[in-house]
């Protein structure tokens, strides 16, 4: 648990599984009776859910007073500037919970107005999630795909779409040129190598470029038994480079995109799809399927669209439900060969659209309507009036292309 001490807070131990384990959540912290909007989120890291929580918190704090932040996956906050808002008020009238529907503690539902920020990677979510989501007043998801999956599964709570955004660091660095070796890049979390298409990527890369020393595949990942098992067949392939994920700064991670030639992301299911999204902003060509959450932003004018071949019910996701896409491996081989031969043309293609793409997906823009709604809810004292306002405004939270 997270213990209050004279010197501050102790860190929570790491979860023994890849995805954060609810057994390792803590909901104890410094009490502040003035908090009106209580945000329970993940703030200890700098990627994925943690980053969304951090960015949403900054927008909330800049817009309204009386916001409290609680990092249930441990301290310290990765963004130290948020530490001064680290309070918890379990009686605050409005509560926001970001994570998965498995995580909210029982007391959370004592808050008058409850907002949940969730994501899924398959076309269906488990019924235990549905039951939990239907106890909220508003659910926020990052894509149309997620909204459809939750609704198809039986969630009746109003669902709004709040896309992910881009930090200003996601832009190209100067001096990019075609040079050897040509480098394909992807990054994979250890707990979802099957969903991310790691095996398909390795197989197709070796098929596409046999004995080509001037072409490399660079994979950034966190090692695990399952990842090591997949990589074992490729240990002797000098074209495949593997490096460990660390808690790099946003600027350091963004710089990777400017030091590779093409991001290849054959993911079978994404709630949103940050890797191809960030690559486009950095003007690095992308190979990825226009499916699941990625369909909201991938287009023929900003990516090389990878075909899929139907869906499989063998979805290996942490919530054990639903199906995801099957990658067309022949097409992936074809696209990688095309990308290597047509790099300059693909660079020009993504370069043309990237400035508008970066502008559209600035965090303050993608979060504006959501933060405005939360601010307006906080101004109301009657929970019934808040419920009415949510139902009036939830459709405004669907982005227009």
What is the arithmetic mean of pLDDT over 371-399? 96
Q: Same topology for domains 4-165+364-397 and 182-360, yes or no?
A: yes
Contact between 323 and 315 (Cβ < 8 Å)? yes
Per-residue pLDDT at 401:
66
- Tell me the pLDDT of the chain averaged across its residues: 90
Query: Judging by beta carbons within 10 Å of its beta carbon (0-12, 13-18, 19+), is residue 222 exposed, middle or buried?
Result: middle
CATH code of the domain made up of 182-360: 3.40.50.2000
Check whether 319 has a pLDDT greater than 70: yes
Tens of pLDDT, residues 64-89: 999 999 999 888 888 999 999 999 99
Of 107, 98, 88, 105, nearest to 37 by C-alpha is 88
- Report pLDDT for 13: 40
Residues 37, 311: Cα–Cα separation, whole Å: 41
- pLDDT of 315 strictly over 80: no
Which of helix, strand or coil describes residue 166? Answer: strand
Which residue is listed with tokens 């350091």? Answer: 252
Pick the CATH number of 4-165+364-397 from 3.30.365.10, 3.40.50.11930, 3.40.50.80, 3.30.360.10: 3.40.50.11930
173-211 pLDDT, tens digit each: 987 877 889 999 999 876 678 899 999 999 999 999 998
pLDDT band at 10 (very low <50, low <70, confident <90, very high): very low
Q: What are phi and psi of 161, to 5 degrees?
A: -105, 120
Predicted confidence at residue 15, as pLDDT, reads 37
pLDDT of 14 reads: 40
| pTM for the structure as a whole | 0.91
Domain boundaries, the chain: 4-165+364-397, 182-360
pLDDT attached to residue 3:
27
Q: Is the pLDDT of residue 170 over 80?
A: yes
- Who contacts 194 (Cβ-Cβ below 8 Å, separation ≥6)? 268, 316
Three-state SS for 135? coil
Percent of the chain with pLDDT over 90: 74
In three state form, how does the secondary structure of 170-230 look?
CCCCCCCCCCCCEEEEEEECCCCCCCCCHHHHHHHHHHHCCCCCCEEEEEEECCCHHHHHH
């Amino acid at each position: 648990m997270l213990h209050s001490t004279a010197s501050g807070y102790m860190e929570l131990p790491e979860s023994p599984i890849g995805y954060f384990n609810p057994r390792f959540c803590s909901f104890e912290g410094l009490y502040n009776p003035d908090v009106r909007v209580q945000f329970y989120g993940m703030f200890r890291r700098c990627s994925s859910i943690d980053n969304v929580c951090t960015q949403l918190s900054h927008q909330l704090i800049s817009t309204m007073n009386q916001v409290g932040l609680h990092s249930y996956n441990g301290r310290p906050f990765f963004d130290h500037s948020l530490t001064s808002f680290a309070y918890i008020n379990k009686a605050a009238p409005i509560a926001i919970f970001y994570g998965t529907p498995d995580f909210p503690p029982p007391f959370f539902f004592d808050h008058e107005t409850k907002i949940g920020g969730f994501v899924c990677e398959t076309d269906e979510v488990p019924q235990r999630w549905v039951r939990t989501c239907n106890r909220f007043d508003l659910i926020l998801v990052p894509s149309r795909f997620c909204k459809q999956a939750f609704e198809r599964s039986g969630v009746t709570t109003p669902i709004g779409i709040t896309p992910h955004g881009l930090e200003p660091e996601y832009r190209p660095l100067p001096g990019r040129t075609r040079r050897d070796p040509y480098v394909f890049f992807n990054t994979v979390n250890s707990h979802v190598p099957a969903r991310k298409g790691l095996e398909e990527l390795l197989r197709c890369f070796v098929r596409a470029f046999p004995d080509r020393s001037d072409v490399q595949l660079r994979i950034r990942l966190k090692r695990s038994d399952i990842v090591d098992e997949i990589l074992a067949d490729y240990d002797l392939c000098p074209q495949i480079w593997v490096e460990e994920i660390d808690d790099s700064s946003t600027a350091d991670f963004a710089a990777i995109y400017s030091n590779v030639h093409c991001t290849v992301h054959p993911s079978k299911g994404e709630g949103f799809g940050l890797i191809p999204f960030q690559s486009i902003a950095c003007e690095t060509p992308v190979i990825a399927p226009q499916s699941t959450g990625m369909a909201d932003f991938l287009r023929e004018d900003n990516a090389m669209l990878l075909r899929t071949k139907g869906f499989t019910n063998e979805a290996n996701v942490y919530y054990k439900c639903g199906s995801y896409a099957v990658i067309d491996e022949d097409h992936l081989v074809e696209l990688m060969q095309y990308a290597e031969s047509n790099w300059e043309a693909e660079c020009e293609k993504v370069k043309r659209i990237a400035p508008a793409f970066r502008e559209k997906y600035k965090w303050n823009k993608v979060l504006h309507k959501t933060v405005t709604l939360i601010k307006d809810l906080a101004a109301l004292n009657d929970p019934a009036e808040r419920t009415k306002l949510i139902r009036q405004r939830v459709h405004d939270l669907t982005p227009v292309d």
